[in-house]
Amino acid sequence: PDTVPLTRGLPIPQGISASTFHMVISELKTLLGAQHVELNDAELKNGWYMQHPNTHDMMPLLHSEEFIASAVVYPGSVEDVQRIVKWANKHLVPIYPISMGRNLGYGGAAPRVRGSVTLDLGRRMNRILSINEEDYTCLLEPGVSFYALHEEIQRRGLGDKMWIDTPDLGGGSVIGNTLDRGVGYTPYGDHWAQHAGLEVVLPGDDARVVRTGMGALEGANTWQCFPYGFGPVSDGIFSQSNFGIVTKMGMTLMPNPGGFESFMYTFPDESSLAPLIDIIRPLRISNILENVAQLRHGLQTLSVKGLPRSTYYTGPGPIPQEILSEHLSRTATGDCAWVYYGMSYGPAHIRKYKLDVIDAEFHKIPGCRKIDPSKMPADEYFWSRDRIASGTPDLEELKWVNWVPNGSHIAFSPVSPIQGKDASALYELAKKRHAEAGIDLMPAFCVGLREMHLIVEIVFDATDEGVRKRAERCLRDMIDDAAKLGYGEYRTHLALMDQVAATYNFNDGALMKLNNTLKDALDPNGILAPGRCGIWPKRYRGRGWEL
């Protein structure tokens, strides 16, 4: 639906009276300028990906008024961010920073605590502060998207020299994605590993600005070259946390490798998964397979065409294998259980060396087929992967969200070794839970250097409460099943953060105790993004906020 009414009224944060809230909002308007503060008191507007809302999650898993902001504020500078932090400390208002809020599948723009004041950093703080064409680095503000960075590189005529690394959707914020430890698909796909230097506003009542790494040295010319600096490396504690508001981040850029070539293999048997993964592992660790490639289930090749599921099947439960095979066999890809999308980099003769090794190894799997790119129509999904793995932002991936009406999605994202037995175990448990929930299973293995992120996307109709409940149950069951087998999520949806955090339970939750200690030291008033990643400030702890 395009708009959703606010049946529960303006979501004023807990512990603050309506009149006080309106007073402190006036104060905030005085501090920032009235035009930079918006109350969320009308209705929830959805819209599509590129015009996403910043007040809530346009793909709600829970009730649509659960994770919503009371107001949105648009700081225009680091000083503005400091003003907001001081204001929040003074009045004990929970604030929730987003860079752009396109965190779809993990909560979108929504805050964890209903009624938080959302800091939309990206709207006004969206400058590319530098692109260094000699060091292959850049320095960004929160509002710079992968698209914007890519375009600016082209505009400066540097497109032939340097690449960015983009996730499957290019509309997100480089900072937002990286802080949530997102992944892309070139050799620079581990975004967190590729960042260099943060500027952070701390949540304490003096709202101190810290620069990490070499940025702590006044006048340093190495802030983006060397990620560590001297003394403790504190960057990590600002990722997937609620310990600070990042106002600048450095990022490395990939030099043009001097050539590239996408390739695609299909495998007919579902049971090829384990042996294939075992073939991939040594090739990946030794960088013969060079990028964070995706090994996708056949169903995704169909769903990414963007047609609704009802085009193929209208019965209940997961789409049957025969139906899937039948429709797949009519596509350019042909019928298959698994598709591997990869890319080789470098000059032609260097690529040939690697591609030959890969070809010989992959063909050990019965029925393996190498798909000839020249046979792929221009609108085939293959070319989207080609663009992304060569650093060009894209939006094709959005299409599978159309699989069901009012398509929303949420991801199950466990990490495993690149081992056949682990791939099978995770695939089997997902299959079982999907069957129980009557949901189509769409798994993709994103293969990092020594681990894989399995991404299972559950696509659901957000307006159907029953379906939402089934999706949530399916997710929660998979998280628990996986944890029992030793697998944990790399990232999760707002609604599941407490559950996922609780699976990281070694020594009676020692890591969360450490997180809590740091939270209390850095944010004694507990104003910043309470509950994010399962970390609750002292004022909230033990009061049943966990979901």
Per CB under 6 A, contacts with ligand FAD among 151-170 are: 167-169
> Cα angle vertex 410, ends 465, 66, to 5°?
50
Candidates 231, 377, 542, 544: give the one binding a second copy (CB under 8 A): 231
Cα distances (angstroms) measured from residue 217 to each of 212, 221, 245: 9, 9, 20
385 is annotated as an active-site residue: no
Q: Which stretch binds a second copy (CB under 8 A): 50-58, 83-91, 251-259, 464-472?
A: 251-259
Verify binding: residue 229, a second copy, rule CB under 8 A.
Answer: yes
261 binds, among a second copy, ligand FAD, none (CB under 5 to 8 A by kind): none
Question: What is the smallest separation between the CB atom of 36 and a second copy, expressed in angstroms?
Answer: 24
Verify binding: residue 239, a second copy, rule CB under 8 A.
Answer: yes
Verify binding: residue 419, a second copy, rule CB under 8 A.
Answer: yes
What string marks each residue from 434 to 473 as x (binds a second copy by CB under 8 A) or -? --------------x-xx----------------------
Give the closest residue to 394 by CA, choosing from 262, 491, 266: 262
Verify binding: residue 177, ligand FAD, rule CB under 6 A.
Answer: yes
Cα distances (angstroms) measured from residue 486 to each of 62, 415, 480: 27, 10, 10
Q: What's the gap between Cα 399 and its chain centre? A: 17
Candidates 172, 203, 213, 534: give the one binding ligand FAD (CB under 6 A): 172
**CA–CA separation, 304 and 93 (whole Å):** 42
What string marks each residue from 474 to 513 as x (binds ligand FAD by CB under 6 A) or -? ----------------------------------------
**What is the full DSSP assignment across 110-153?**
--SSTTPEEEE-TTT---EEEEETTTTEEEE-TT-BHHHHHHHH
**What is the full DSSP assignment across 79-114?**
HHHHHHHHHHHHHT--EEEESS---TTTTTT--SST
* Beta carbons within 10 angstroms of residue 462's beta carbon: 24
Q: Reduced to 3 DSSP states, what percent helix, strand and coil does the chain have, rounded to the nearest 5?
A: 35, 20, 45
Verify binding: residue 245, ligand FAD, rule CB under 6 A.
Answer: yes
**CA–CA separation, 225 and 400 (whole Å):** 38
For the chain, report the end-to-end CA distance as a whole number of angstroms. 26
Q: Which residues in 268-321 belong to E strands, given as ranges? A: 293-297
177 binds, among ligand FAD, a second copy, none (CB under 5 to 8 A by kind): ligand FAD
Catalytic annotation, pick one of 211, 296, 470, 491: 491
106 is annotated as an active-site residue: yes
SS3 74: coil
Verify binding: residue 118, a second copy, rule CB under 8 A.
Answer: no
Verify binding: residue 522, a second copy, rule CB under 8 A.
Answer: yes
Candidates 60, 75, 94, 176: give the one binding ligand FAD (CB under 6 A): 176
Classify residue 7 by its DSSP letter. T
491 is annotated as an active-site residue: yes
Question: What is the smallest separation between the CB atom of 222 and a second copy, expressed in angstroms?
Answer: 5
Verify binding: residue 116, ligand FAD, rule CB under 6 A.
Answer: no
60 binds, among ligand FAD, a second copy, none (CB under 5 to 8 A by kind): none
Given the complex with a second copy, which of 235 and 396 has the nearer CB atom? 235
Question: Cα-Cα-Cα-Cα dihedral of 8, 14, 18, 21, to 10°?
Answer: -120
Candidates 241, 303, 344, 525: give the one binding a second copy (CB under 8 A): 241
**CA–CA separation, 309 and 312 (whole Å):** 6
Verify binding: residue 500, a second copy, rule CB under 8 A.
Answer: yes
Verify binding: residue 515, a second copy, rule CB under 8 A.
Answer: yes
Verify binding: residue 211, a second copy, rule CB under 8 A.
Answer: yes
Given the complex with a second copy, which of 116 and 137 has the nearer CB atom? 137
Bridge partners of residue 339, in order along the sequence: 266, 296
Q: Known catalytic residues?
A: 106, 490-491
Chain positions contacting ligand FAD, by CB under 6 A = 97-105, 121, 142, 167-169, 172-173, 175-177, 179-180, 182-183, 245-246, 397-398, 529, 532
